[in-house]
C-alpha cells in the first residue's frame, strides 16, 4: 500500500475526528499511513492485528478506525463487526482499505457496519476527502446527541416541575372543593343540594347557598370563562362575595336596621358584581350566573339570570320545564343591565341551576346534548333523591359522550321545595 500526493496542512481537517486507530499487519504500510495522518493533525494509534485493535478500541475512545481488509487472523470485516458490538457512548466511523472493488464486496462490508471504503493503492486526496466526509457525519451525529441530551435534561426538568405543579393543583382542588362546605342544607321547607365536578384539577364553576334572612334562602350557580388556575382563583374571590355570614361580608345581604339583615334583589347583586369585576378585579375573565332568592313560606323564587343556562323545574311526575330570558354575562360591559324574573314552586317541585357543561356536552358524532336532551335525562331520573340524581346525571352524560373525557366543568344546585316548615 502506498500513500501519495497527500498535503500536510498545519491545522486538522476535522473537528469531530481527533483520534484515529490504524490497523494493518504490514508495519511499513501502517507507519506510512500513521505518519500521514499525524501530519494532518490527528492523534494516531497503531495496531498490527485485529485482536490488538479490538482490545485498544474497548479501552480507548477512538473516533475513527482505518483498517486493512485482508489480515491474518481477524480480518477487517470481523473487526468491523465486533467493533460495532462494543458498548460505546459515541459512534465510531469505520473505513476499510481494500483492493476489492466489486459490488458484492462493498455490500458485504456495508452489511457488517463499515461506513466507507478506500481502494488500494490509496490516493492521498481521496483519503483526505473520505476522512473529511466522515468528520461531517460524526459532527452531525454528535450535535444530534448533544441536542438529544439537552432535550432529555429539559424533559426531566419539565417532568419535575409538572410533578410539583400537579401536587399543587391537587391541593388547589381540595381548597376549591372546600369552597362548597355544605353540599346539602335544609332551610325548613326548602332543601338545597350542590354538585361540583371540575373537568381538570381545578375549574371555573361554583355553586353555593346562604341564609338570606327574613325567611329567604339564597342559591347561586356561577361559570367563569376559561378553565384552570385563573378561573379557579376568580371563583374563590366570588365565593367570598357571596359567602354565608353577616351582611357586610355578603353582597346579597343588607342590614335591616334592627341588627339583622335582609336580602338584596338578585338583579342588584348582579349589577354590583359587574361593577366590581370591571373596577377592581380588572381581568379578561367574565362569568355567567344564576342567582335565586327563594321565599321559603311561599315557594316564590326571584332569579337574576346573567348569561347562564335556563333553570329547569322538575315536577313530581317527571315533567321538566325551563324558565329564563338569557341575560348578559358579568364582567363584559360597564353599562350592562340586569333584571329579575320570578316563578313559584309547588310543593314537591325542584328547581335546578346547572352549568353549560351538561347541555354543551358532545357525543361521538359531535352533536350537543342541548336543553332537550338534558330535559330527557332529568325526566328519566326524576324519581331519585337529589344526591342520587346528581350521580345518575353524570353516568348518563358519560354514556352520551361514549366514554370520552368530559371537556367542561359540571355544576348544579337543586332547590327542593316541600312547603314551609319549622326553621
CB-based burial, 276-298: b 16+ in 10 Å, e otherwise: bbbeeeebeebbbbbbbbbbbee
Who contacts 110 (Cβ-Cβ below 8 Å, separation ≥6)? none
Condensed to tens digits (0 to 9), the pLDDT of residues 49-72 reads 999 999 999 999 999 999 999 999
Strands 205-213 vs 216-224: parallel, antiparallel or unpaired: antiparallel
| DSSP states of 329-382 | PBTS-TT----EEEEEPPTT-EEEEE-HHHHT-B-TTS-B-HHHHHHHHHHHTT
CA angle, 215 as apex, 209 and 217 as ends, to 5°? Answer: 10
Tens of pLDDT, residues 88-120: 888 999 999 887 766 777 788 888 889 998 888
At residue 288, the pLDDT reads 97
Q: How do residues 183-228 score in pLDDT, each as one tens digit?
A: 899 999 999 999 998 887 677 889 999 999 889 999 999 999 977 7
Per-residue pLDDT reduced to its tens digit, 207-217? 999 999 889 99
Domains of the chain by start residue, with CATH:
3-147 (3.40.50.2300), 179-417 (3.60.40.10)
The answer to whether residue 247 scores a pLDDT higher than 60 is no
pLDDT tops 60 at residue 246: no
- Which DSSP state fits 288? E
Question: pLDDT: is 38 or 167 the higher one?
Answer: 38
pLDDT by residue (tens digit) across 267-286?
A: 999 999 999 999 988 788 99
Q: Which residue has the higher pLDDT, 6 or 93?
A: 93
pLDDT value of residue 37: 87
Average pLDDT, the chain: 87
Amino acid at each position: 500500500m502506498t500513500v501519495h500526493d497527500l498535503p500536510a496542512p498545519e491545522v486538522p481537517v476535522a473537528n469531530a475526528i481527533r483520534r484515529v486507530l490504524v490497523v494493518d499487519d504490514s508495519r511499513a504500510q501502517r507507519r506510512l499511513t500513521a505518519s500521514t495522518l499525524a501530519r494532518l493533525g490527528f492523534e494516531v494509534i497503531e495496531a498490527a492485528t485485529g485482536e490488538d485493535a479490538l482490545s485498544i478500541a474497548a479501552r480507548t475512545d477512538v473516533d475513527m478506525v482505518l483498517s486493512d481488509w485482508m489480515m491474518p487472523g481477524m480480518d477487517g470485516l470481523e473487526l468491523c463487526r465486533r467493533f460495532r458490538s462494543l458498548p460505546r457512548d459515541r459512534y465510531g466511523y469505520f473505513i476499510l482499505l481494500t483492493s476489492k472493488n466489486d459490488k458484492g464486496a462493498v455490500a458485504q462490508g456495508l452489511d457488517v457496519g463499515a461506513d466507507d471504503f478506500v481502494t488500494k493503492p490509496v490516493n492521498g486526496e481521496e483519503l483526505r476527502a473520505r476522512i473529511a466526509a466522515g468528520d461531517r457525519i460524526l459532527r452531525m451525529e454528535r450535535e444530534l446527541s448533544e441536542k438529544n441530551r439537552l432535550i432529555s435534561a429539559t424533559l426531566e426538568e419539565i417532568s419535575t416541575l409538572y410533578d410539583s405543579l400537579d401536587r399543587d393543583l391537587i391541593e388547589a382542588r381540595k381548597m376549591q372543593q372546600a369552597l362548597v362546605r355544605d353540599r346539602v342544607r335544609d332551610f325548613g321547607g326548602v332543601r338545597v343540594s350542590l354538585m361540583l365536578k371540575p373537568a381538570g384539577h381545578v375549574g371555573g364553576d361554583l355553586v353555593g347557598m346562604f341564609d338570606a334572612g327574613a325567611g329567604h334562602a339564597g342559591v347561586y350557580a356561577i361559570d367563569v370563562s376559561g378553565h384552570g388556575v385563573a378561573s379557579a382563583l376568580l371563583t374563590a374571590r366570588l365565593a367570598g362575595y357571596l359567602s354565608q355570614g353577616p351582611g357586610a361580608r355578603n353582597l346579597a345581604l343588607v342590614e335591616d336596621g334592627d341588627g339583622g339583615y335582609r336580602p338584596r334583589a338578585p338583579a342588584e347583586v348582579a349589577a354590583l358584581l359587574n361593577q366590581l369585576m370591571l373596577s377592581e378585579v380588572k381581568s379578561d375573565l367574565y362569568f355567567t350566573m344564576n342567582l335565586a332568592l327563594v321565599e321559603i313560606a311561599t315557594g316564590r323564587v326571584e332569579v337574576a339570570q346573567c348569561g347562564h343556562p335556563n333553570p329547569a323545574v322538575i315536577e313530581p311526575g317527571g315533567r321538566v320545564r325551563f324558565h329564563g330570558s338569557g341575560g348578559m354575562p358579568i364582567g363584559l360591559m360597564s353599562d350592562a343591565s340586569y333584571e329579575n324574573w320570578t316563578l313559584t314552586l309547588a310543593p314537591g317541585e325542584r328547581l335546578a341551576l346547572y352549568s353549560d357543561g351538561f347541555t354543551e356536552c358532545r357525543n361521538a358524532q359531535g352533536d350537543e346534548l342541548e336543553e332537550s336532551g338534558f330535559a330527557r335525562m332529568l325526566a328519566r331520573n326524576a324519581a331519585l333523591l337529589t344526591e342520587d340524581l346528581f350521580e345518575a346525571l353524570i353516568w348518563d352524560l358519560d354514556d352520551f359522550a361514549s366514554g370520552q373525557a368530559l371537556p367542561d366543568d359540571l355544576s348544579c344546585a337543586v332547590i327542593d321545595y316541600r312547603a314551609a316548615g319549622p326553621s
